Structure formats: structure tokens, C-alpha cells
Structure 1
Amino acid sequence: MLSALGSILMKIHQIEGYIQTIYLVEYQDKLMLLDGCCRADHDIVLSFITQTLNRAIGDLKVILVTHMHPDHAGGAHKLAKTTGAKIAACNAPGHWYRGLDGMLMHWTDMLLALYVAGRKGKKKQNLFYPRKLRADHFLADGMTIPGFDDWQVMHIPGHTDRDIAAYHIPSERVYVADLMVKVKGKLIPPFPLFYPRRYRNSLLAIKLLQPKSVILAHDGELDFADIDFDSLIESAPTTPMTHWRSVKYKFKKALNIH
């Protein structure tokens, strides 16, 4: 599935990715990816640029990485190497997948991505990518994206400590990546959720922004008026929902430990 959203000056193309929607922003003289995709999406992106848009791969100037999960950062390095595009990310300190725990979590996240792909009926693909991001631009909250001054970055941590959103100022549309996901027609918090308090604040920040629409990594573009932010904030978890807590809970449940 592919579609284009936008005006003559700027279009946001929606491309079906391995397990997420790819958003490619097109201008007359440049292109930008709103996330780093999966490693498996590399050829899909290049094919769309060269065959569908009839553009040169060098027109891709910026790859935004909203956070480090496989479907948001997995293709960033490979695409940057192929196209010469610069990688832009949050200015959070250190690496997300640092240390031994980080290494284990990195592999767990790739396995979870493969599980999701299987649920979607997709064939297994190589999703391996570096756990340490080599970004060219580290963006503070409120900064504009280099070369794309009509896009402003917002820090929206919670899912991880370095999630960012991209707000297109002229059209008042905001890409929030995994800030929320739709399950059985209902919007809920993402999994994992490492920082519940920060997550609530991030939801509040988007609510107060009052954009015309909100673009999700897995569920397309929604009208702002159709999202019940108050309900999301009220029902959001108060304790972290992480890989290890989930395993521990299931283990205790299996042993009937209270």
C-alpha cells in the first residue's frame, strides 16, 4: 500500500514497510525519511525513490530516527551509506542498548520484530542492525530538522528515554512514531513502556500542541479530534512495562507464585 498526503510543495508518502508504515517526505529538491525503517525495508525505500518518484537516491538528505527499535532505526545506517543521507536523532546521552542488558534487549527487540512480522504473514528477514547509532545530528527539544526548517522536533520520552516526534509547522501535522498503537480498534500505550511518568507528560505535550492530525508508525494518520488523550493519559500504566517485567510476571504466573 502506498499513498501520498500533502500539498504541491510537500508530500508525505506512505509506503508499506516490513512491520510498520514508512513515511517519506518529498519536496521538489529533497527527500526525508521520518524514521529509519527496518533493515528489510532498504530496497523498498530505494525502489520507491528511483522507480515510483523517478528521483535520484542522493535526493534523500535526512533520515530521522525517533528511537532505537528495529522498525525505527534498523535501516538507518544501511540507507545512509547507500544514499549519503545524514542521520538525525534525539540528543539523549549515551546509547539506548548499552551494557550487557542492552545487548540482550537488542536481540530481544529483533526477535519481537520477527514475531510481529510472522503475525502479519511476512517472511523472515535479516533484521540485524548496529545497537549503537552513529548519528550526524543530535536534536534538542524544539530544534528544527537540519535542511527541513518547516519540521520541528519534540522530545516525547516514555516508550524509551529518547523518543522524538516531528511536527510539520505549516500543515500542523505531527509524526509521533510509537507514542500510541491501535489494538482491536482502540489506541493504547506501546510496549515496552520504560518511563510511565514521562509517557504521560509526552501525551500531554501532544494534546496541548493541538495539531490537526497525528501520524502513527503503525496506524496511519488520525484526526486530532478523534483521539481521546484524556482517556489515554488516565489509563496509562503507572509502573514500567518492560521485557524483563513481562517475563518475570509470566514466570510467576506459571509457578502460581504470589
Structure 2
Amino acid sequence: MSLVVERFGELGIIRLSRWIFNCYLIRGESSWTVVDAGMPGSADDVAGVLSVLGGSVGAVVATHGHSDHVAGAPRLATEHAAPLYVPAVTVEYLDGSRQPRTPALSKVAQIWPTLLSQPLDLTGLRGFADGARIAGYGGRRGMIADGLAAARPLADGQLLPGLAGWQVLHVPGHTDDSTAFWHPDSATLLSGDAVLSADGRAWFTPETVDADAAARSEARMRALPVEHLLPGHGLPVHGRDVWAAAR
């Protein structure tokens, strides 16, 4: 399996996927914002798409600091001289004022249906392994901050820089820095890892560090009239009410 490129023209969004790892390009007025450039080769994948569609990268954004969401971000931001944004809590990890928590392996094992939802891509698998040594956090270690030191914070409730109408939502539970991006006009939610998908259904992730926070975040997201769910892992889900059949 090679790189999957899926265009949602009416939304102005492109999904780039290697195995279960999704990266999204959102079209702005004059450039593209890249969300979750988690693979070390994300810069090459984005360059290939933009060579066909045209345009440049205006900003690089991450939904949280796990390596499979940020490992490709520093190179991508550097090559395009674009600002890099991460959640405000992730910035606290970077400056050492807060220690990241990551789900235990017993929690990770629970999302096996998502892991089996798409054909295995060896490039994606290698990228996942290599990315853990480049940037981000996971396992028992703290934050690897190489290339992320200049990242700017995203606060709950603010608008995504350079994109009209996209709101930042702090939705902790999967991790303490978990964040989603909501576009009310198109009823689109880029959910990061707060919501996955499996078997064509939205899935509020059981892979959590804080069950109480996850429950509050689920209630917050269920209150949104989502019609286009674009998860960090798994296939997008579309419908008049994507929560109706959610796990």
C-alpha cells in the first residue's frame, strides 16, 4: 500500500494517509495549513501533493505531542519557513514545566479494531518507529523537543491562525494535551486522537490517561452537530449525525 490521497473538495481538505496515520491539509485563503504531520516523511508527501495542486504551506499544526503527530512537523515547518503550532499544554511539556502522560500498553491494545481498519503500509510502520526517535513523547520518556522548541501555543477557544472559522477545542482524556479543531460552517471536526473510527463508526477512544477528562471531552464533542469526522487514526466518517452510531 502506498500513500493514500483523499480530497474533500467541498470542505477544502485533503487527507494524506499511510496505514492508520492521517495528516490533513486545510486550504486557506493564500496557503495550506497542515495538521498532524506525524510521519518523518510527511514533508515529502505534502510536497508531492502540492506539486500537483499548487500552493504553499502557511502553517503546521498538531493536535497533541505524541510522536506520530509531530515527528514530521519540524522538517515541514523549516522547509516552508512556516510557523509551527502545538497545544498550550504541549508547550508546557517542551519547557519542562509539566510532564507528559501517555496511555498504558493495556489501553493501546484496546484500539486494535482501528489498527486493522486499513491495509498495513510498511512506510507508515517504519515512520511510526523512526518518528519516536525524532520528536514527541510516548512510553516512559519525556518530550523529545528537537525542532519543536519554537512551537507556538494554541489555547482552547482561539481560532486556528490563518484559517477562517476553525476553532481550537481542548479535549483532554487520550492525553492531557489532546486537542481537536472544529469548523461550524461545514460541521467538520478534526478530532486528533480524541475520536477514532472503526467499522465505519466514530469511536471515542478508550486509549486514555484520564477517564474522567475523556468523559467530559466526549460530552463536549457530542454537543457539536458534526457531519464530517476526520480522525487522527482510522477512516473519515460522514453523515447527518456521526454520533448516532458512535462507539
TM-score (norm 2): 0.74
Deviation at 1:187, TM superposition (A): 4.6
Q: 1:144 aligns with which of 146, 150, 159?
A: 159
Deviation at 1:2, TM superposition (A): 1.8
Cα separation, 2, equivalents of 1:214 and 1:185: 11
- Partner residue, 1:64: 61
User: What SS does the corresponding residue of 2:223 show, helix, strand or coil?
Assistant: helix
Which amino acid letter does the alignment assign opposite residue 84 of structure 1? A
Q: 1:4 aligns with which of 3, 7, 10?
A: 7
Q: Measured at CA, do residues 224 and 174 of structure 1 come closer, stay the same or move farther in structure 2, by a change above 3 Å?
A: farther
Q: Measured at CA, do residues 18 and 185 of structure 1 come closer, stay the same or move farther in structure 2, by a change above 3 Å?
A: closer
- Partner residue, 2:93: 95
Deviations 1:23-51 (A, max 9, x none): 111235111012232113221112111x2
Contact 1:87 1:134 in 2 (8 A): no
- Partner residue, 1:251: none
Please list, as runs of the form range in 1=range in 2, the aligned pairs for 1:32-51 lying within 5 A after superposition: 32-49=33-50, 51=51
Cα separation, 2, equivalents of 1:142 and 1:225: 23
- Partner residue, 1:205: 220
**Structure 1: gaps (5+ residues):** 233-258
- Partner residue, 2:120: 120
Q: Check if 1:129 corresponds to 2:134.
A: yes
Between structures 1 and 2, the one with greater helix share: 1
- Partner residue, 2:237: 221
- Partner residue, 1:172: 187
- Comparing both chains, which one has the higher relative contact order based on Cα–Cα distances under 8 Å and sequence gaps of 6 or more? 2
When structure 1 is superposed on structure 2, of 207-216 and 139-148 the one drifting more is 207-216
Q: Measured at CA, do residues 146 and 27 of structure 1 come closer, stay the same or move farther in structure 2, by a change above 3 Å?
A: closer
Deviation at 1:17, TM superposition (A): 3.0
- Partner residue, 2:197: 182
Which amino acid letter does the alignment assign opposite residue 53 of structure 1? L
Deviation at 1:141, TM superposition (A): 0.9
What is the aligned-residue identity percentage? Answer: 20
Q: Measured at CA, do residues 201 and 97 of structure 1 come closer, stay the same or move farther in structure 2, by a change above 3 Å?
A: farther
- Partner residue, 1:236: none
When structure 1 is superposed on structure 2, of 121-130 and 179-188 the one drifting more is 179-188
Q: Measured at CA, do residues 70 and 63 of structure 1 come closer, stay the same or move farther in structure 2, by a change above 3 Å?
A: same
Question: Quick check: which has more Rg, 1 or 2?
Answer: 1
Q: Measured at CA, do residues 121 and 173 of structure 1 come closer, stay the same or move farther in structure 2, by a change above 3 Å?
A: closer
Q: Measured at CA, do residues 215 and 135 of structure 1 come closer, stay the same or move farther in structure 2, by a change above 3 Å?
A: farther
- Partner residue, 2:31: 30
User: What SS does the corresponding residue of 2:41 show, helix, strand or coil?
Assistant: helix
Cα RMSD for the two superposed structures: 3.2
**Structure 2: gaps (5+ residues):** 110-114, 136-143
